[in-house]
Structure 1
């Protein structure tokens, strides 16, 4: 996202700067912040690991049941 100062340095008027910033803000509404994405990805990876461990435990229990 470009800053107001950068836009002014390009020679845009205050009105043009406001319109550009408003348009950028509107465009960004549907995006998730990187920190939130990283948080959810880490949580997902942890859950995948838990599922894999659970599946191994289930297979081990089934094997133990079959040999008991």
Structure 2
């Protein structure tokens, strides 16, 4: 972070990047569901991966809400 960058500018830039990551995540989850459907909805590895994603997102949510 540059010294001349205000907190407001930096916040806006980081918020934009976080939103981009969230949209990318939603697209990836859609691809994950499509793969699960294509595999006959029986691939437990994909179910497990989704469980890991859920756990990590819960950690992020708890961090944002100061519930670490």
Report the TM-score when normalising by structure 1.
0.48
Larger radius of gyration: 1
Larger RCO of the pair (alpha carbons < 8 Å, separation 6+): 1
